[in-house]
Structure 1
Amino acid sequence: MSEPQPPTATVQGRAIAMLWHILARYRPAMLWRLARIAGPLVHRFSRREREVTETNLAEVYPDQGATERRRLARQSLTHSTATMLELGFAWMGEPQRVEGSILEIHGRELLDEARAEGRGVIVLAPHFGNWEVLNFWLSSHFPFTAMYEPPKIAELDPVIRQGRERMGASLVPTNPRGVAALLKALKRSEAVGILPDQEPDWGSGVFAPFYHRLAYTATLLPKLVARTDARVVTGVARRLPGRGFAIHFLAADERVYSTDETQSATGVNACVEDAIALDPAQYQWEYKRYRKVIEEQQGVPNHKTYRLY
């Protein structure tokens, strides 16, 4: 049984869900205008997000001037704010309106060709643009399975789950049972989604370069590829500010198919870099991507953490 939520968390969850329901009525153009108002406030008053974003940008773009990186940080937090405002639209907006907001599709042939060959497709979906719009499109057009971990605020779980599953997506837990479900879906020549840019628990990843610095990267992908002969593509929903979205599917770096886990993880990170290159401001730079490197250097990793595989 899940632990009871404190009253403040329950109230917070209900307030967030209500806000999503309200924002679901707005189109992306209006949500972008709201983000342009709220984004600079997030940059100014959310110290943690600002500092992590600026630190990450200094790591990956060391040759840029400080002024340029600060400008990029402000843009990035505006896009992250837009993503949060768009969640209600992606999860609860009328399906025809969400579909109508997707103005461009690039690289769909990568998915169609793989399925025509009887191969499953692994979609690497980094935290770029609006990944919930990508989930909406994928689950609208293909049999689609993705891992799902319930949010910390339990009140939001049914809202998020219903939003992600409403177009037919199958959500599976982040445990061995979920991995087995992904394997079965791939063997049925279906599509599955993986978040390639979240640090896994200790024991479920390897250190691989991400923008020339080591980052702890999950090793789920080579396990799935080795057992299914699936094709790997990178997928993102790039925001077209004030208009809608463009879906991009990119051919994966060939290293993702390596049986060597470090080589494969290096390829995964290269795929994320390729997606970011579409528009660096649309990546969620406020995530502490290099956290476990620092833990390792400080000698504090908890290697007893539950292994996913």
Structure 2
Amino acid sequence: MTDTSRRARWQASAIARLWRFLSHRSLPTLWRLAAWLGPKVYRFNKRERSVTDINLGVVYPELDAKTRRALGQESLKHSAATMLELGHAWMAEPARVEASILAVHGRDKLDGARAEGRGVIVLAPHFGNWEVLNFWLSSHFPFTAMYEPPKLTRLDPVIRQGRERMGASLVPTNPRGVAALLKALKRCEAIGILPDQEPDWGSGVFAPFYGHAAYTATLLPKLVARTQARVVTGVAKRIPGEGFEIHFLDADERVYSEEEAQSAAGVNACVEAAIALEPAQYQWEYKRYRKVVEEAQGLSDANRYRLY
């Protein structure tokens, strides 16, 4: 065994043991840890701080620097909480996780679509704790989601087991996975899509996100056109130190457009509506505007993302 393989095995084992340890901790304890860790990340992790500050400056230009900085610190606190809560979502006793879901708002949107003989596409942005959302969806509905194995491949069976333990079906991020999503929708089941990750070139279009171009996937209109599925936005909003509230929101009507740019604009509007529930719970450290820089170095907007 090479040193690299030995190191990867050790890293994966250590991370899995940490998740298992954290799965036995209470949510108030995990939130206190996040409240301690978040400011440290903001202060010492230049990459996370810079990307968060850039995104917040683009999205909320009306806020003064002090307010944006406070929002950035709070956002990284929530991101730290999400990482600390992975053991809770994946490894804690199911009854404990279910009990941590304090309320579910908008379930009728899913039940109504299925009663009409339609599948449901759940747009699940990186808000709150999306792993808790996956737990709830796969506990209450036949549920399929795309899955890309982690870079640390030895963690793959741990993550897969955590996400599939309540019955979710994970499919690859390739044409075979898309075919599986279509079959699930035609069976009037629910599927999950991450609407706020930049796709590979050729799999998206530029559409406005808070008034600025962001490269956005075009998978959704293809799925809707072939299945007549209903689209909702779903999030698990964190109630710090207490639990989570699931929210299902009506999708922007543009998501049903056959025109890809219009549908993509609707998808981004759905993400904005979810963020409006509590902006600090969104994962602002993701480089959402990265491809603007790659595609159009000369645009004035690109100067705002120079640190990317």
Whether TM exceeds 0.5 here: the answer is: yes
* Paired amino acid for 2:211: H
The number of equivalent residue pairs is 297
For residue 14 of structure 1, report the CA deviation from its aligned partner. Answer: 1.5
* Paired amino acid for 2:86: L
2:293 corresponds in structure 1 to 294
2:101 corresponds in structure 1 to 102
Aligned residue for 1:192, secondary structure, equals strand
- Structure 2: runs of 5 or more not aligned: 299-308
Q: State the alpha-carbon separation in 2 of the partners of residues 272 and 29 from structure 1.
A: 28
Deviations 1:17-62 (A, max 9, x none): 1100100001211111110111111111111001000000000000
For residue 8 of structure 1, report the CA deviation from its aligned partner. Answer: 2.8
For residue 177 of structure 1, report the CA deviation from its aligned partner. Answer: 0.4
* Paired amino acid for 2:108: E
Aligned residue for 2:286, secondary structure, equals coil
2:215 corresponds in structure 1 to 216
Alignment of 1:166-245 (within 5 A): 166-245=165-244
Larger mean CA deviation between 25-34 and 168-177 belongs to 25-34
Aligned residue for 2:296, secondary structure, equals helix
Larger mean CA deviation between 12-21 and 211-220 belongs to 12-21
What is the TM-score of this pair, normalised by structure 1? 0.94
Percentage identity across paired residues of the two chains: 75
Alignment of 1:53-202 (within 5 A): 53-202=52-201
Q: State the alpha-carbon separation in 2 of the partners of residues 119 and 5 from structure 1.
A: 48
1:302 corresponds in structure 2 to none
1:28 corresponds in structure 2 to 27
2:253 corresponds in structure 1 to 254
Q: Is the 8 A contact 1:197 1:269 kept in 2?
A: yes
* Paired amino acid for 1:174: T
What is the TM-score of this pair, normalised by structure 2? 0.95
* Paired amino acid for 1:160: I
Root-mean-square deviation (Å): 1.2
Deviations 1:98-152 (A, max 9, x none): 0000001100000000000000000000000000000000000000000000000
Q: State the alpha-carbon separation in 2 of the partners of residues 9 and 214 from structure 1.
A: 38
Q: Is the 8 A contact 1:53 1:285 kept in 2?
A: yes
* Paired amino acid for 2:159: I
Q: State the alpha-carbon separation in 2 of the partners of residues 148 and 273 from structure 1.
A: 24
Q: State the alpha-carbon separation in 1 of the partners of residues 3 and 186 from structure 2.
A: 39
Aligned residue for 2:185, secondary structure, equals helix
2:270 corresponds in structure 1 to 271
Pair 4,125 (structure 1): closer, same or farther in 2 beyond 3 Å = farther
For residue 235 of structure 1, report the CA deviation from its aligned partner. Answer: 0.1
* Paired amino acid for 1:152: K
Aligned residue for 1:129, secondary structure, equals coil
Q: State the alpha-carbon separation in 2 of the partners of residues 259 and 271 from structure 1.
A: 17
Aligned residue for 1:248, secondary structure, equals strand
For residue 4 of structure 1, report the CA deviation from its aligned partner. Answer: 10
* Paired amino acid for 1:281: A
* Paired amino acid for 2:89: A
For residue 155 of structure 1, report the CA deviation from its aligned partner. Answer: 1.3
Aligned residue for 1:171, secondary structure, equals strand
* Paired amino acid for 2:279: P
For residue 9 of structure 1, report the CA deviation from its aligned partner. Answer: 2.7
Aligned residue for 1:298, secondary structure, equals coil
- Structure 1: runs of 5 or more not aligned: 300-309
Aligned residue for 1:64, secondary structure, equals coil
Q: State the alpha-carbon separation in 2 of the partners of residues 4 and 238 from structure 1.
A: 41
Aligned residue for 1:168, secondary structure, equals coil
